[in-house]
């Protein structure tokens, strides 16, 4: 159905000239490329915005081997309010310094590998009796990290 404005200005869907199949395909390809480029720019902007927001909220706490830390490990106990549950375990000691840390609760316990975001600095005044700082072995590029 043509409206009065279509008669005056012309319909946006009408082509003023006939296109060959190859011209139509080329024009379609250019329009699709422009739309994809626009979408990529918007995705990059959103990705940068999300990274900036994460960087402002995250804390860059680096731990050294031998530091005492708490481990965030929430456990849901049936029948008890989450507010009253203990979400932090520890204190653990740091065994390696990397993006993923190896922690140990006591000298006889197994080590756990955890992400930096789950650790918090131990601020207690009296460390446990077993808490002894050991010098870590020197790390080389060829060394492989294995559980002890």
The answer as to whether 130 is a domain residue is no
The answer as to whether 105 is a domain residue is yes
pLDDT at 22 over 50: yes
Residues 74 and 112 in one domain: yes
User: Exposed (0-12), middle (13-18) or buried (19+): which is 97, by Cβ within 10 Å?
Assistant: middle
Look at residues 69, 127, 60 and name the one whose alpha carbon lies nearest to residue 93.
69
Could you tell me the residue range of the domain that residue 80 belongs to?
68-121
The answer as to whether 43 is a domain residue is yes
The answer as to whether 84 is a domain residue is yes
Of 9, 38, 58, the last residue of a domain is 58
- pLDDT on residue 110: 85
- The separation between the first and the last C-alpha atoms of the chain, rounded to the nearest angstrom, is 78
| Range 40-63 average pLDDT | 84
Residues 43 and 75 in one domain: no
The answer as to whether 5 is a domain residue is no
The answer as to whether 115 is a domain residue is yes
Half-sphere exposure of 12 (CA within 13 A, CB side): 0
The answer as to whether 139 is a domain residue is no
Q: CA 89 to CA 105: how far, in whole Å?
A: 9
| Range 43-57 average pLDDT | 88
Q: How far is CA 71 from the centre of its chain?
A: 19
Report how many domains make up the chain: 2
In this predicted model, which residue has the larger pLDDT, 69 or 127? 69
pLDDT at 113 over 90: no
| Range 71-100 average pLDDT | 78
pLDDT at 37 over 50: yes
- pLDDT on residue 107: 78
Residues 43 and 77 in one domain: no
| pLDDT confidence bin for 147, thresholds 50/70/90 | very low
Residues 48 and 91 in one domain: no
The answer as to whether 33 is a domain residue is yes
- pLDDT on residue 138: 57
Q: Sheet containing 100-104: which strands, arranged edge to edge?
A: 111-115, 100-104, 88-94, 68-72, 119-121
Residues 76 and 116 in one domain: yes
């Amino acid at each position: 159905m043509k409206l009065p404005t279509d008669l005056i200005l012309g319909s946006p869907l009408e082509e003023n000239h006939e296109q060959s199949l190859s011209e139509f395909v080329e024009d379609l390809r250019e329009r699709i490329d422009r739309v994809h480029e626009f979408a990529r720019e918007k995705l990059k902007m959103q990705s940068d915005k999300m990274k900036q927001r994460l960087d402002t909220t995250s804390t860059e706490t680096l731990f050294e081997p031998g530091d005492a830390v708490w481990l965030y490990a929430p456990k849901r106990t049936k029948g008890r309010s989450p507010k009253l549950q203990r979400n932090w375990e520890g204190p653990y000691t740091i065994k390696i310094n990397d993006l993923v840390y190896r922690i140990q609760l006591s000298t006889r316990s197994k080590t756990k590998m955890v992400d930096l975001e789950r650790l918090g600095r131990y601020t207690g005044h009296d460390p446990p009796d077993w808490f002894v700082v050991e010098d870590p072995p020197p790390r080389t590029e060829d060394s492989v990290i294995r559980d002890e």
